[in-house]
């Protein structure tokens, strides 16, 4: 090296003489090693290490050593690995290149160096602006676009005015604004912007010196509504509110006050679930049915500070009127069912709901009452169920009473009650005006004029009744009550006195509340009126006359006696053994007759369902009129037989009664008629039984056959009875 310096320092002649010898022995310089590229004083400075063999270095922006060099620098020959450097002043802010270099000497260019990226930082915006509460959804951040080369802008946010803060968003260089939707409502932030150039390496060591503070408004919840008299003990609140980020510990706050007050009471503060605002809640106010005003707002926590939204609109609400706890339904009012209940606080009126008892129907609103009483003018007879709700004086219907109350309108008292002798000896006929909706009638006997005292001595489905004549010279009173069901018993009629005297139909009763018969074994006697139930269709017309047992079958609309009476009277000199079999026949025929009446009712109820039955079963109901007529005719003849025998059977005397029968009521005619009816009924029921596919009808027809067979066996005993009576 010293030799080279000496040669270079000599004269041109010496160099010319010595140069060829030195150059011939010199090698090409090795590739330099680039170590660093950085921005300095508006340029990109590149430094590295070279070689003493290089006379100088050319510098390139494109690797490997492509294009024209942007600079050429001489070499420092004082070191074996001299430092080399170059500054690129042609780079714009934000621009960068892959720098390389190579050395040269008299022998030529050496190989290219390694590649090293160098760049200038992009210029950060000179001004930044942030909105102050212009929106409830975001803070608007904007800035002045930077000169030079910019690929992106980073928006930074901090709760402090110093420092760059954290990056909250990145936008391309074509944009100069940003919407910060993650800002906590009402919290103040400081915003800066960082410009990024072409460098693949993100430089976080700088940000704009310019900054601005901003915040988003805290939007108040809206559309608050409060329930008005629909919930017991509670007011339901609902409202709308924007979502709030869960990072800010959002909470919902509910306030309540008395109308007219200027101060609010916080009644509930609850966290918001997963950032979604609380939008419904129930409040239990201190006083039921009193109106209160409500408002809601949201709250967040940012750092050590809490921020709240404005209050929502004001909603007014109140609890519902509680359903009456005590309801009564009185069934002693002739005009309907009288309902009464306890007065409920806050109620201006009450809604009355009704349905038929035992049905699966929903309760239907029938009326509204401004008091705690209501008379429902329903039809007499059927039972009904009631529920009641209270209506708030400001509006709003409360819930229905949980337990229904049952009631019925009593049937009217029967009128036109009469007691006459007949239609045969020792029999009286009691008749009255029919009452609509009646299932049957109860008859009462009393020694006083007080009606319906004690237990009934007889029942009837039709508005007339046959009873055995009481002994002569006995005063008595008869009264009647219409009954819809065992629980729905109507009003009692006025008492009607019976006749007294040896030729009149009078009866004395030992007790108005019971029906007694003499005990055959005791030898004592007492007078009473008793009865068994009778046949009738509910829709049949009423008649007080009796059909001859020898007459043909009556039409479907013809009525017959609905009951048969039996009383025992003492007959001196008679004995219970004088007519053996009478007591047996009487006791056996009566239940058979009652069973047939039950079958008759079941047949009639089935006709109502005939439209839903199969066509084969409907054929049975084409014979309905004939079937029911035969059953009625059978019942009438059987009743006449019992009128004749049963009243004196226990103490004998049956033959005497038989001998007093008029010709049209002779026993052989009764027997012939009964046998005819049995035969016709058996034939019809067996035929229809073979055709029937309906299980309900089939069971009734089978039962009818069995009962007819039992009746036929009993009737066969009657000739023996006739022979006893001569």
Residues 303 and 348 in one domain: no
Question: Is 354 among the domain residues?
Answer: yes
Q: Is the model's pLDDT at 580 over the cut of 50?
A: no
Please say whether the beta carbons of 496 and 479 come within 8 A.
Answer: yes
Which pLDDT band, with edges at 50, 70 and 90, does 306 fall under? confident
Q: How far apart are CA 56 and CA 70, in angstroms?
A: 14
Q: Which domain holds residue 71?
A: 33-120
Question: Is 622 among the domain residues?
Answer: yes
pLDDT at 619: 47
pLDDT at 247: 74
Mean pLDDT across the stretch 424-439? 83
pLDDT at 682: 63
Residues 353 and 451 in one domain: no
Q: How far apart are CA 323 and CA 389, in angstroms?
A: 5
Mean pLDDT across the stretch 393-397? 93
pLDDT at 553: 33
Range ranked top by mean pLDDT from 383-387, 528-532, 550-554: 383-387
Question: Is 667 among the domain residues?
Answer: no
Check which CATH number belongs to the domain holding 422 and give it: 2.60.40.10
Residues 428 and 360 in one domain: no
Which pLDDT band, with edges at 50, 70 and 90, does 63 fall under? confident
Question: Is 697 among the domain residues?
Answer: yes
Q: pLDDT digits over 12-37, tens only?
A: 333 343 344 444 456 899 999 999 98
Q: Is the model's pLDDT at 465 over the cut of 80?
A: yes
Choosing from 498, 524, 557, the residue where a domain stops is: 498
Determine what percent of the chain is predicted with pLDDT higher than 90. Answer: 33
Residues 281 and 331 in one domain: no
Position with higher pLDDT, 284 vs 559: 284
Question: Is 365 among the domain residues?
Answer: yes
Mapping DSSP onto H, E and C, the string for 389-418 reads EEEECCCCECCCCCCCEEEECCCCCCCCCE
Nearest CA to 531 out of 579, 578, 564 is that of: 564
Choosing from 120, 141, 175, the residue where a domain stops is: 120
Residues 712 and 625 in one domain: yes
Residues 191 and 226 in one domain: no
Q: How far apart are CA 122 and CA 113, in angstroms?
A: 27
pLDDT at 664: 35
Q: pLDDT digits over 228-238, tens only?
A: 999 999 999 99
Q: pLDDT digits over 207-229, tens only?
A: 888 999 998 888 888 999 999 99
Q: Which of 148-157, 431-440, 714-723 has the lowest mean pLDDT?
A: 714-723
pLDDT at 537: 33
Q: Is the model's pLDDT at 642 over the cut of 90?
A: no
Residues 329 and 386 in one domain: yes
Mean pLDDT taken over the chain: 73
Q: How far apart are CA 195 and CA 203, in angstroms?
A: 10
Please say whether the beta carbons of 654 and 721 come within 8 A.
Answer: yes
Residues 380 and 400 in one domain: yes
pLDDT at 499: 61
Q: Which of 155-164, 182-191, 544-553 has the lowest mean pLDDT?
A: 544-553
Mean pLDDT across the stretch 609-622? 44
pLDDT at 395: 92
- Which residue has 């260019």 as its token pair? 109
Position with higher pLDDT, 535 vs 638: 638
Q: How far apart are CA 545 and CA 451, in angstroms?
A: 26
Which pLDDT band, with edges at 50, 70 and 90, does 509 fall under? very low
Q: Is the model's pLDDT at 266 over the cut of 90?
A: yes
Strand runs (DSSP E) across 550-687, as ranges?
564-566
Q: pLDDT digits over 443-456, tens only?
A: 998 888 899 998 88
Q: pLDDT digits over 538-554, tens only?
A: 333 333 333 333 333 33
* Tokens matching residue 248: 């800010």
Residues 205 and 240 in one domain: no
Q: Is the peptide bond before 423 cis (omega within 30 degrees of 0)?
A: yes
Question: Is 246 among the domain residues?
Answer: yes
Residues 421 and 400 in one domain: no
* Tokens matching residue 690: 């073979």
Mean pLDDT across the stretch 493-502? 72
Question: Is 481 among the domain residues?
Answer: yes
Q: Is the model's pLDDT at 143 over the cut of 60?
A: yes
Contacts of range 495-500, beta carbons closer than 8 Å, 24 or more positions apart: 495/446, 495/448, 495/449, 495/450, 495/451, 496/417, 496/418, 496/419, 497/419, 497/449, 498/419, 498/428, 498/470, 499/419, 499/421, 500/472, 500/473, 500/474, 500/475
Position with higher pLDDT, 399 vs 436: 399
Q: What CA–CA distances, in Å, run from 101 to 47, 61, 81, 386?
A: 10, 9, 15, 105
pLDDT at 21: 40
**pTM of the predicted model, to two decimals?**
0.49
pLDDT at 486: 74
Domain count for the chain: 6
Choosing from 317, 334, 359, the residue where a domain stops is: 317
Q: Is the model's pLDDT at 175 over the cut of 90?
A: yes
Residue 129: half-sphere exposure toward Cβ, Cα within 13 Å = 8
pLDDT at 389: 95
Q: Is the model's pLDDT at 606 over the cut of 60?
A: no
Q: pLDDT digits over 651-692, tens only?
A: 233 333 333 333 334 455 556 666 666 666 666 666 666 665
Which pLDDT band, with edges at 50, 70 and 90, does 508 fall under? very low
Residues 419 and 368 in one domain: no
Please say whether the beta carbons of 426 and 568 come within 8 A.
Answer: no
Mean pLDDT across the stretch 399-404? 93
Q: How far apart are CA 220 and CA 252, in angstroms?
A: 11
- The alpha carbon of 349 is separated from its chain's Cα centroid by a whole number of angstroms, namely 25
Sorted by sequence, the CB contacts under 8 Å of residue 176 that are 6+ apart come out as 125, 142, 143, 144, 145, 153
Determine what percent of the chain is predicted with pLDDT higher than 70. Answer: 63
Residues 202 and 142 in one domain: yes
Nearest CA to 635 out of 674, 601, 582 is that of: 674
Q: Is the model's pLDDT at 501 over the cut of 50?
A: no
Question: Is 53 among the domain residues?
Answer: yes
Q: In what order do the strands lie in the sheet with 280-283?
A: 222-226, 235-240, 280-283
């Amino acid at each position: 090296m010293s030799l080279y310096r000496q040669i270079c320092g000599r004269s041109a002649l010496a160099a010319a003489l010595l140069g060829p010898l030195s150059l011939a022995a010199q090698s090409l310089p090795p590739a330099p090693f680039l170590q660093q590229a950085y921005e300095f004083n508006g340029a990109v400075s590149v430094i590295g290490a070279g070689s003493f063999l290089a006379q100088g270095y050319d510098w390139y922006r494109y690797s490997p050593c492509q294009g024209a060099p942007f600079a050429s620098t001489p070499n420092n020959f004082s070191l074996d690995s001299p430092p080399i450097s170059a500054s690129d002043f042609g780079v714009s802010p934000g621009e960068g290149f892959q720098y390389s270099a190579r050395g040269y000497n008299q022998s030529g260019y050496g190989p290219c160096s390694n590649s090293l990226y160098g760049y200038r930082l992009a210029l950060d915006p000179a001004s930044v602006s942030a909105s102050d509460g212009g929106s409830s959804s975001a803070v608007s951040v904007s800035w002045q676009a930077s000169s030079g080369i910019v690929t992106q802008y980073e928006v930074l946010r901090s709760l402090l005015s110093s420092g760059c803060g954290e990056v909250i968003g990145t936008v391309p260089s074509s944009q100069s604004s940003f919407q910060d939707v993650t800002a906590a409502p009402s919290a103040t932030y400081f915003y800066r912007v960082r410009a990024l150039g072409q460098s693949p390496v993100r430089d976080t060591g700088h940000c704009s010196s310019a900054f601005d503070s901003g915040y988003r408004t805290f939007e108040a919840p809206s559309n608050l509504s409060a329930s008005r008299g629909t919930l017991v003990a509670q007011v339901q609140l609902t409202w709308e509110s924007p979502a709030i980020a869960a990072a800010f510990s959002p909470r919902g706050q509910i306030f309540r006050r008395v109308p007219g007050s200027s101060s609010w009471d916080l009644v509930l503060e609850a966290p918001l679930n997963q950032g979604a605002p609380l939008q419904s809640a129930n409040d239990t106010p201190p006083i039921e049915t009193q109106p209160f005003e409500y408002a809601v707002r949201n709250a967040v926590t940012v750092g050590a500070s809490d921020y709240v939204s404005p209050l929502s609109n004001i909603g007014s609400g109140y609890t519902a009127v509680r359903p009456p706890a005590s309801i009564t339904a009185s069934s002693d009012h002739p005009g309907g069912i009288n309902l009464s209940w306890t007065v409920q606080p806050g109620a201006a009126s009450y809604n009355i709901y009704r349905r038929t008892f035992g049905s699966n129907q929903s309760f239907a609103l029938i009326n509204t009452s401004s008091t705690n009483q209501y008379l429902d003018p329903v039809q007499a007879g059927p039972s009904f169920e009631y529920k009641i709700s209270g209506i708030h004086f400001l509006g709003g219907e409360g819930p229905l009473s949980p337990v229904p109350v049952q009631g019925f309108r009593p049937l009217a008292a029967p009128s036109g009650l009469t007691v006459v002798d007949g239609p045969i000896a020792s029999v009286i006929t009691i008749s009255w005006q029919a009452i609509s909706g009646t299932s049957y009638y109860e008859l009462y006997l009393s020694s006083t004029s007080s009606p319906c005292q004690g237990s009934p001595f007889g029942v009837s489905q039709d508005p007339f009744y046959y009873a055995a004549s009481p002994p002569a010279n006995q005063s008595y009173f008869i009264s009647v009550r219409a009954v819809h069901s065992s629980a729905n018993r109507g009003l009692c009629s006025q008492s009607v006195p019976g006749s007294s005297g040896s030729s009149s139909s009078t009866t004395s009763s030992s007790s108005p509340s019971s029906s007694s018969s003499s005990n055959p074994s005791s030898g004592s006697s007492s007078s009473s009126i008793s009865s068994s139930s009778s046949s009738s269709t509910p829709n049949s017309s009423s008649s007080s006359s009796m059909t001859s047992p020898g007459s043909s079958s009556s039409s479907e609309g013809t009525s017959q006696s609905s009951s048969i009476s039996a009383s025992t009277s003492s007959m001196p000199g008679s004995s219970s053994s004088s007519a053996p079999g009478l007591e047996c026949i009487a006791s056996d025929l009566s239940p058979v007759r009652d069973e047939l009446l039950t079958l008759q009712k079941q047949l009639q109820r089935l006709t109502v369902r005939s439209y839903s039955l199969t066509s084969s079963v409907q054929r049975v109901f084409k014979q309905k009129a004939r079937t029911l007529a035969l059953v009625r005719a059978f019942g009438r003849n059987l009743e006449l037989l019992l009128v004749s025998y049963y009243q004196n059977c226990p103490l004998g005397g049956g033959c005497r009664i038989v001998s007093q029968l008029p010709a049209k009521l002779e026993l052989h005619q009764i027997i012939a008629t009964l046998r005819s009816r049995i035969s016709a009924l058996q034939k019809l029921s067996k035929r229809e039984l073979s055709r029937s596919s309906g299980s309900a009808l089939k069971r009734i027809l089978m039962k009818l056959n069995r009962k007819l067979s039992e009746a036929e066996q009993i009737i066969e005993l009657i000739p023996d009875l006739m022979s006893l009576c001569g």
